[in-house]
Amino acid sequence: MAPRTLYDKIWDDHVAHQAEDGTCLLYIDRHLVHEVTSPQAFEGLRMSGRKVRAPEKTIAVPDHNVPTTPGRDKHIDNEESRIQVEALDKNAKDFAINYYPVSDIRQGIVHIVGPEQGWTLPGMTVVCGDSHTATHGAFGALAHGIGTSEVEHVLATQTLIQKKSKNMKVEITGSLRPGVTAKDITLSVIGATGTAGGTGYVIEYCGQAIRELSMEGRMTVCNMAIEGGARAGLIAPDEKTFAYVMGRPHAPKGAKWEAALAYWKTLFTDEGAHFDKVVTIRGEDIAPVVTWGTSPEDVLPITGRVPAPEDFTGGKVEAARRSLDYMGLVPGQKLSDIAIDTVFIGSCTNGRIEDLRAAAEILKGKKIKVKRAMVVPGSGLVRAQAEEEGLAQIFIDAGFEWRLAGCSMCLAMNPDQLAPGERCAATSNRNFEGRQGRGGRTHLLSPQMAAAAAITGHLTDVRDMMGVEA
Amino acid sequence: MDKFTKLTGIAAPMPLVNIDTDMIIPKQFLKTIKRSGLGKNLFDEMRYTLDGQEIPEFVLNQPAYRKAEIIVAGDNFGCGSSREHAPWALLDFGIRCVISTSFADIFFNNCFKNGILPIVMPQEVVDVLMEDAKKGANARQTVDLEAQTVTTSDGRVFPFNVDPFRKHCLLNGLDDIGLTLEKAASIDAYEAKAASAFPWA
């Protein structure tokens, strides 16, 4: 057999039907569901008298518009949000799917809950009505976002109609320098390739710097594959992956574990396999970065200055002008001079325990200078662990609000929103106009950099605080 | 799903690149449990002021484009989230076709599920169609899916590519789920095979 990429192997093992024109029915191993993109799909099933084909492979959790303040398990003030959460409660019950309601400590952001509970395993196909499903690629699972019609299709058939994407390799060579994180890798890749650079591709991230990342870091990298336009991001599983998975509630045990492990160890790109596109970045060249504009590709090292529209070409000139106007920034301004009103630490990109540890390390014994700062753990279990490790107290002592789990201010569907003109340093994944609230201004960065901005009140090179040379 | 065969209509020019799904339909409108009624909030934050007044400069608020059925857009239209509310909002407004140099993957898929035809054209063709669209309401473009052509208001014809399966579904207004269920035997066979090959999955 010709050498195959990791993507080729997972794809080949999931084709249930292939038509003459190459259109495939791809079998889906795990279907994750949340309250915002599923009600119309369940309604469609009801109207056509269809059932969920594999309820045991379907996992639901409310996350997008749940409040992150106490009492939410008793009552949600916003009527529309409440109706959506109640609809998911009912759909989960009626269709007998796995469910973590708001009252369950395991509730959290769907992309944090899946891996945490061992639903996500190497070599699987994972879909969800959410673009950040790419997160699960960190396990060597083929994972991507789908629309609501496709949610209904997967519920009814456990398959997806797909044509194969092209293969793209993103290699990060060498090691990261101190103060540089997985978030800086993934933002730097998008900065280099653009938000459409991955369109039509599945990306495999590889190289020493990727291997050296923890599973949490790998999830951060894959999470933003979609921001680069790719259908999915993948990282080949290794000992770190197996160690993370072992013993989780829904991970295989005993003989099944041994069988799974033997298969998982075959999940790597063969020597000589073909990639349609290759991007290589030296790990040593990556700096702590921030975004300055309203597209995730608007990335610069924190030591840089706000660019001018004339620095760009084509349609990007006008887009940059619009971005700078929206962001209230002036070309030439130092990025580290930009004053911040609000800091948000959380989201499926950076809401895991390692992210909270990294931010707390910077914040220890310090006080915030911003108007408000909040930490929203990615799941109830992350929250509990952070409390046990004393991280919660560090955040609270520094002046942060310590919230309950959910998507929160990443997309501001719940009450956690920016006011017009309010400027936020956020560990989330999108800086689009209005993303965190109409007129709100978002700068994307790592948890460490967010903590640094909280302390100084402006975008800050975290390396200055760590005593590390830039 | 409504069929898409041939459409002659007003094309609205939106040259901005990276028009994302948060622009197309902001998150506060995702709280619905229905598919319909989103057209009034299409491009909400670009279209209305904070107190709900129309912003006259926005293209779909201009008299010539209020009944647009086609959008000619800058690169990477529909990037961002997987929300199908974006094509639902376009459709509810009356848009049946979007033409750009590139589309985000999930948005592109979602369009076909809702009877909207996204067309990828090279930059030089998008430039011609954009200039034609800027002429206003008297300039109607024709999109012929069967023939796979777009014709400008002054008769210039440009061919486009479309996946044959998707074309077939759009032309006939076919429901994907119904088509897939016809292949249920293949899915059963896969599940039987996987149960022994991947018993942990």
Helix axes A380-388, A353-363, angle to 10 degrees: 40
Question: Residue A222: exposed, middle, or buried by beta-carbon count in 10 A (0-12, 13-18, 19+)?
Answer: buried
CB B3 within 8 A of CB B116: no
CB atoms inside a 10 Å sphere around CB B57:
8
Using CA atoms, how far apart are residues B4 and A394, in angstroms rounded to an integer? 58
Distances (CA, A) of A359 to A352, A362, A394, A426, A448: 11, 5, 10, 12, 5
> Contact B113/A295, CB-based, under 8 Å?
no
Q: Considering only alpha carbons, which residue of chain B is nearest residue A124?
A: B201
Per-residue confidence (pLDDT) for residue A469, from 0 to 100: 82
Per-residue confidence (pLDDT) for residue A267, from 0 to 100: 98
Residue B190 is assigned to a structural domain of this protein: no
Residue B135 is assigned to a structural domain of this protein: yes
From the CA of B171, how many Å to the nearest CA of chain A? 17
Residue B184 is assigned to a structural domain of this protein: no
From the CA of B30, how many Å to the nearest CA of chain A? 7
Per-residue confidence (pLDDT) for residue A135, from 0 to 100: 98
CB B109 within 8 A of CB B17: no
Q: Considering only alpha carbons, which residue of chain B is nearest residue A42?
A: B33
Q: Considering only alpha carbons, which residue of chain A is nearest residue B199?
A: A256
Percent of chain B at pLDDT exceeding 90 = 97
Who contacts A358 (Cβ-Cβ below 8 Å, separation ≥6)? A181, A446, A447, A448, A451
Instruction: Report the CATH number at residue B101.
Output: 3.20.19.10
Does the pLDDT at position B138 exceed 90?
no
> Contact B200/A260, CB-based, under 8 Å?
yes
> Contact A36/B31, CB-based, under 8 Å?
yes
Nearest to A161 among B105, B180, B200 (CB): B180
Q: Which domain holds residue B33?
A: 6-174
CB A88 within 8 A of CB A60: yes
Using CA atoms, how far apart are residues A53 and B180, in angstroms rounded to an integer? 13
CB contacts, 8 Å: A19 with chain B: 165
pTM higher than 0.95, yes or no? yes
Nearest to B84 among A65, A148, A229 (CB): A148
Which B positions 116-155 lie with beta carbon below 8 A of chain A? none
CB A84 within 8 A of CB A41: no
CB contacts, 8 Å: B26 with chain A: 434, 438
CB contacts, 8 Å: B45 with chain A: 433-434, 438
Distances (CA, A) of A134 to A233, A275, A353, A459, B62: 6, 19, 19, 28, 39
* Three-state secondary structure string covering chain B: CCCCCEEEEEEEEECCCCCEHHHHCCHHHCCCCCCCCCHHHCCHHHHECCCCCECCCCHHHCHHHCCCCEEEECCCECECCCCCHHHHHHHHHCCCEEEECCECHHHHHHHHCCCCEEEECCHHHHHHHHHHHCCCCCCEEEEECCCCEEECCCCCEEECCCCHHHHHHHHHCCCHHHHHHCCHHHHHHHHHHHHHHCCCC
Using CA atoms, how far apart are residues B180 and B183, in angstroms rounded to an integer? 5
> Contact A161/B176, CB-based, under 8 Å?
yes
> Contact B187/A17, CB-based, under 8 Å?
yes
- First-to-last C-alpha distance (Å) of chain B: 34
Per-residue confidence (pLDDT) for residue A257, from 0 to 100: 98
- Any A CB within 8 A of B115 CB: no
Residue B191 is assigned to a structural domain of this protein: no
CB A423 within 8 A of CB A459: no
* Three-state secondary structure string covering chain A: CCCCCHHHHHHHCCEEEECCCCCEEEECCEEEECCCCCHHHHHHHHHHCCCCCCHHHEEECCCCCCCCCCCCCCCCCCHHHHHHHHHHHHHHHHCCCEECCCCCCCCECHHHHHHHCCCCCCCCEEEECCHHHHHHHHHCCEEEECCHHHHHHHHHHCEEEECCCEEEEEEEECCCCCCCCHHHHHHHHHHHHCCCCCCCEEEEEECHHHHCCCHHHHHHHHHHHHHHCCCEEECCCCHHHHHHHCCCCCCCCHHHHHHHHHHHCCCCCCCCCCCCEEEEEEHHHCCCEEECCCCCCCEEECCCECCCHHHCCCCHHHHHHHHHHHHCCCCCCEHHHCECCEEEEEHHHHCCHHHHHHHHHHHCCCCCCCCEEEEECCEHHHHHHHHHCCHHHHHHHHCCEECCCCCHHHCCCCCCCCCCCCEEEECCCCCCCCCCCCCCEEEECCHHHHHHHHHHCECCCHHHHHCCCC
Note the pLDDT tens digit of each residue in B70-126. 999 999 999 999 999 999 999 999 999 999 999 999 999 999 999 999 999 999 999
Mean pLDDT of chain B: 96
Q: Considering only alpha carbons, which residue of chain A is nearest residue B107?
A: A147
Q: How many domains does chain B have?
A: 1
- Any A CB within 8 A of B183 CB: yes
> Contact A199/B176, CB-based, under 8 Å?
no
CB contacts, 8 Å: B27 with chain A: 411-413, 435
- Any A CB within 8 A of B79 CB: yes
Nearest to B17 among A80, A81, A316 (CB): A316
Return the structure tokens found at B107.
């948005």
Per-residue confidence (pLDDT) for residue A411, from 0 to 100: 93
Residue B201 is assigned to a structural domain of this protein: no
Which B positions 32-51 lie with beta carbon below 8 A of chain A? 32-35, 45, 50
> Contact B17/A319, CB-based, under 8 Å?
yes
From the CA of A364, how many Å to the nearest CA of chain B? 35
Residue B68 is assigned to a structural domain of this protein: yes
Chain A with chain B: Cβ pairs closer than 8 A: 192
Q: Considering only alpha carbons, which residue of chain B is nearest residue A318?
A: B16
Does the pLDDT at position B44 exceed 90?
yes
Phi, psi of B162 (to 5 degrees): -150, 145
Dihedral angle computed from the Cα positions of residues B28, B30, B31 and B34, in that order, rounded to the nearest 10 degrees: 140
Residue B47 is assigned to a structural domain of this protein: yes
Place of tokens 């022994």: B196
Suggest the residue from A195, A257, A299, A347 to mutate for an interface test with chain B (most B CBs closer than 10 A).
Answer: A195
Residue B31 is assigned to a structural domain of this protein: yes
> Contact B199/A259, CB-based, under 8 Å?
yes
- Any A CB within 8 A of B15 CB: yes
CB B40 within 8 A of CB B180: no
Using CA atoms, how far apart are residues A294 and A365, in angstroms rounded to an integer? 33
Who contacts A313 (Cβ-Cβ below 8 Å, separation ≥6)? none
Nearest to A229 among B79, B184, B186 (CB): B79
Note the pLDDT tens digit of each residue in B169-192. 999 999 899 999 999 999 999 999
Instruction: Show pLDDT as tens, one digit a residue, over chain A (470 residues).
Output: 899 999 999 999 999 999 998 999 999 999 999 999 999 999 999 999 999 999 999 999 999 999 999 999 999 999 999 999 999 999 999 999 999 999 999 999 999 999 999 999 999 999 999 999 999 999 999 999 999 999 999 999 999 999 999 999 999 999 999 999 999 999 999 999 999 999 999 999 999 999 999 999 999 999 999 999 999 999 999 999 999 999 999 999 999 999 999 999 999 999 999 999 999 999 999 999 999 999 999 999 999 999 999 999 999 999 999 999 999 999 999 999 999 999 999 999 999 999 999 999 999 999 999 999 999 999 999 999 999 999 999 999 999 999 999 999 999 998 999 999 999 999 999 999 999 999 999 999 999 999 999 999 999 999 999 988 87
Using CA atoms, how far apart are residues A19 and B168, in angstroms rounded to an integer? 14
